[in-house]
Structure 1
Amino acid sequence: MTGRADAAVPDPVRPGAHRAGAGGTLAFVESPVQLLNVLEWAHARAVDADPGGLTVVILPPHDPMTRGQLRRMAQLARDEGHAVEWSEARGGASAPLKTVAGLVRPLRAARRLVIGDPFSRYVQLLLALAGDAAAVTVVDDGTATMEFTAQLAGGAKRFTRWHRGGTGGARAALFAPVSARARRRLAPGAGRRVELFSAMPVRPPEHVSVTENTFAWTRARLGPPTLIAGTDLVGTSLAETGVVDLDRYVAAVAELTRAHGAVRYFAHRRERTEKLHRIAVETGLEIVRPDLPLELVARRGPVARTILSFPSTVVHTLPLALAGTGVRVAVCDVDPAWLAEGASPRAQGFLTGVTDTARGAHRLHPEKPA
C-alpha cells in the first residue's frame, strides 16, 4: 500500500506569520480541495494584483492524511506568492478561543472573505464575526457545494450536510444563533455581495454571482500526463460516512476491478487503513494514497486512460482538469442495495443527482456483485 502524506512532514508556515491587511482577501480552508480551489479562484481573478493580496488561513483537522495534503498544498500556495498561515484551531481546549481571538481584527479589516465549507461550524463562527461590508466568495467544496446552493436557494434556516439526518442535537441548538447569523451573511442583500466559484452544476438564488471553475491553474501548472494501460479506480468515503454498507462496497469494488481491468485504487484521504488493506487483499488492486488532491495527481501523471469513480466530486472536476489529454472518466451509480441501514433517506436521490449532472463523464450501470 503506497503512502505519501504523513504526520512527519514539517509545517510549511509558522502560526501568526501573516495577516491580511486592510483591503486584502482572507481565505479559510479546512481541506486540500478547498485550498486547490482557492488557488484556482485567485488565478481566475488575478488576486495577486489586488490591494492587500491574499492570505490563506488553514484550519487543519486531526487526521494525518488530510494534514499531509494540506501541507503540500500550502507550499504550492506560497510558491504562487500568497501568504499562508497554519492555525491549529483544533489543538486543544483553548485553541478555538485563541484562534478566533487572533482573527477578529483581520476579519473585520478584510475586503473579501473566501470560504470553502459553509457547513463548518468554525467557518460559520468566523463569518458571524466578520464585518458586514466584506464581500464573500464560496469556493468549490465538491458535492457539498451543490447541497449548499440548494439549501440557500430554498431558504433553509440552517445548513445541513446531505448525508446527515435529524436536527443535530443539543450542540446544534446552542449554536443556532451563530449559524443563523452566518446564513444571513451568505444571503445577498443590501451591502452584501456573494459570489460562488464552482465547477459543479449549481442553481444559486438570485443575486448570487457565479464564476465557473475551469481548473485553468491546474492545467497551466501541471501536465499533460503520461497515459498508461488499464483502469484507475477512485475510492470514496461513503462507507466511512455511513451511506454505503462496507461489505457491499468492497464487493462492488471487486466486481468493477474484474469487469474493467482496474489496476490501481486511488484512496480517498478519509478512507480507513483497515478498509484499504481489505480491498488490496480481496481485489489485488494497488492502493495509492495521493499526496495531493486527485485533480493534481492525475494531471501530473502517470494516469490510466480510463478513470472509474463512484458518484463524487471528481466526476465533475477530473474531466476539466484532464481536458485534452485523452483520458476517459466514467462514473458507476450506487445501487440502492448498497446503502447502509442508517443511511439518510436523501442519500440515493442525492447520489443519483451527482451522476445525472456529470457533464464530462461516461455513465455506467452498477455492477452486480456475486
Structure 2
Amino acid sequence: MEDGRDHAREQGSAVAWVESPLQMLCAVEAHHAGLLGPRTRLVPRARLRPLAVTGRELDHLDLPPGLELTAPEPDVPRPRRGATWAVGDAFSGKVQARWLTAFPGRTVIVDDGLATIRLLELLTAPAGTPLLRARGRSGRLRTLLGVAAGFRLRAAARAGRLSIFTALPVPEELARAVRDRGAELVTHDFAWLRSQPLRGPRPAERTVVLGTSLVRNGLIHRDHYFTWLAGLGSAGPVAYFPHRREDPDDLVRVGEQPGITVYDGGMPAEMTLRGLAAEQRVLSLPSTAVTSLRVLLSARGVAVETVDVPDEWWTTEAAPSLRSHLSMFAHHDTGVTG
C-alpha cells in the first residue's frame, strides 16, 4: 500500500465534496492517509438520506484529527485558489463545470465504484476524449464540457497536481499508464476504518447478501435475480443489505421471499458489515464492495464470495466492456445456486 505522507507538506485547508456513502468514507480515509493535508472540510451533498445516515455513524467514531464534517450543501463548494480539492464523481456536470472555473492547487479523486476505473481509462485516452459516463447519452454541450474537463484533468496530471485514491484492483497496465500521464495513484486498505471499534449487533443470519444496482439499471433480468434469491432463502435464513440505488418496489419483493430479511440500508457495506463473524459469509454480484469487504473481513475469517452471473441473466444493455470491467471483482467466484 502507498500512503499520502509525501503530501504532509501541503499547506492550508482542503475541501472534499461527496455525493455517496462510499465517497464519504473514502474521503475520510484520504484525510487519514495524509493525502489532503492537515485540515479537511468534508461537505456532503444535501438531501441525500444515505449520506445523512453515514454522517451520523461517522459522528460516533473517532474521526482523524483535522477533519471537519460539515452540514450538507446543495451545490458544489468552490475550493480556495491553491487549496486541495477532493471529489468522487468526476463525471458530474456540476463538478466538471467547477473544474473550469476554480483553480485548486491539487485535485484528489476518491473512489466512486466502477466509475473510478472508467475515469482512469479516459484519463489515459487521447487528448480530446470527453469525460462522460459509460452508459450516458450526452448532447453536444454536455460532450463539450466533458472534453474541457478532460483537458483540465490531464493538465493537472502532467503538472503533478492530480492524485487518485482507491481501494479498487486497478489492472497493472492501466495503473502504469495512469502514472505515465503524471497522475499519482495511491492505493489504500481502509486503514482508518479498520482501527475503529465495532458498533451495534451484527446480523444473526449466516448468509449475508449485498444488494445490487444491476437490476434497476437494466443490466440483468429481474426474474432471474429473484429466482436466485428465492433459492437462497429456501435454503436458510438470509440477511439482505440493499444497494442505495435499488428500486423500492424491488426491495418490497425481496422482503417477500421466504427466509430473507431486508435490513435498513444507507451506510456503506464496509461500515455495516465489518463486524461479521467467521461462521458467516457474504454473497454479492460483481461489485466494488467485494474488494473492500475482503480486505476488512479476511482477518476475521469471513468468506466474501462473488456470484458468477450466468450469460442468460445479462440483458442487451450490458455491453461487453461493462461485463469485462465487472469481471475484475469476480475472484473466488461462487455459483448462483448459493
- Partners of 1:176 and 1:256 lie apart in 2 by 44
Matched residue, 2:41: 55
The one-letter amino acid paired with 2:133 is: R
Matched residue, 2:4: none
Aligned residues: 318
Q: Secondary structure of 2:298's match?
A: coil
The answer (yes or no) to whether the contact 2:84–2:108 under 8 Å persists in 1 is yes
- Partners of 2:82 and 2:59 lie apart in 1 by 23
| 1:47 positional shift | 5.1
TM-score by length of 2: 0.83
The one-letter amino acid paired with 1:23 is: G
Identity of aligned residues (%): 29
**Kindly tell me: are residues 279 and 245 of structure 1, through their superposed partners in 2, closer, same or farther at Cα, counting changes over 3 Å?**
same
- Partners of 1:215 and 1:137 lie apart in 2 by 17
| 1:243 positional shift | 1.0
Q: Secondary structure of 1:322's match?
A: helix
From 18, 22, 26, the equivalent of 1:29 is 18
From 105, 110, 123, the equivalent of 1:134 is 105
- Partners of 1:79 and 1:184 lie apart in 2 by 35
| 1:118 positional shift | 0.8
Matched residue, 1:84: 69
| 1:67 positional shift | 4.1
2:253 aligned with 1:278, yes or no? yes
**Kindly tell me: are residues 118 and 239 of structure 1, through their superposed partners in 2, closer, same or farther at Cα, counting changes over 3 Å?**
same
2:267 aligned with 1:295, yes or no? no
2:147 aligned with 1:180, yes or no? yes
- Partners of 1:130 and 1:312 lie apart in 2 by 33
What are the equivalent positions in structure 2 for 1:133-152 lying under 5 Å apart?
134-152=105-123
Which consecutive residues of structure 2, in runs of 5 or more, have no partner in the other structure?
Answer: 1-10
From 88, 92, 96, the equivalent of 1:124 is 96
The answer (yes or no) to whether the contact 1:54–1:83 under 8 Å persists in 2 is yes
- Partners of 2:60 and 2:152 lie apart in 1 by 30
- Partners of 1:29 and 1:344 lie apart in 2 by 28
- Partners of 2:242 and 2:334 lie apart in 1 by 20
Matched residue, 1:220: 195
1:4-49 Cα shifts (integer Å, max 9, x gaps): xxxxxxxxxxxxxxxxxx821111110111010011111111757x
| 1:140 positional shift | 1.3
The answer (yes or no) to whether the contact 1:69–1:293 under 8 Å persists in 2 is no
- Partners of 2:309 and 2:269 lie apart in 1 by 21
RMSD: 2.9
2:53 aligned with 1:69, yes or no? yes
**Kindly tell me: are residues 46 and 339 of structure 1, through their superposed partners in 2, closer, same or farther at Cα, counting changes over 3 Å?**
closer
The one-letter amino acid paired with 2:44 is: I
The answer (yes or no) to whether the contact 1:230–1:263 under 8 Å persists in 2 is yes
Matched residue, 2:211: 235
The answer (yes or no) to whether the contact 2:61–2:196 under 8 Å persists in 1 is no
What are the equivalent positions in structure 2 for 1:1-370 lying under 5 Å apart?
23-45=12-34, 50=38, 53-60=39-46, 64=49, 66-72=50-56, 75=59, 79-80=63-64, 81-89=66-74, 99=75, 103-104=77-78, 107-131=79-103, 134-155=105-126, 157-162=129-134, 164=135, 168-170=137-139, 173-187=140-154, 188-202=156-170, 203-204=174-175, 205=178, 206=180, 207-223=182-198, 230-258=206-234, 261-301=236-276, 305-355=280-330, 358=331, 362-367=332-337
| 1:301 positional shift | 4.8
- Partners of 1:180 and 1:304 lie apart in 2 by 50
1:197-243 Cα shifts (integer Å, max 9, x gaps): 11112224212212111111111013398685621111101111121
The answer (yes or no) to whether the contact 2:277–2:302 under 8 Å persists in 1 is no
> Higher mean Cα deviation, 233-242 or 110-119?
110-119
1:165-220 Cα shifts (integer Å, max 9, x gaps): 6xx243xx213333223222322455341111111122242122121111111110
| 1:314 positional shift | 1.1
- Partners of 2:56 and 2:312 lie apart in 1 by 38
- Partners of 1:347 and 1:191 lie apart in 2 by 31
| 1:160 positional shift | 3.1
1:96-137 Cα shifts (integer Å, max 9, x gaps): xxx46xx44xx2434211111111112212222221x61111
Q: Which has the higher contact order (CA 8 A, sep 6+)?
A: 1
| 1:70 positional shift | 4.3
Matched residue, 2:8: none
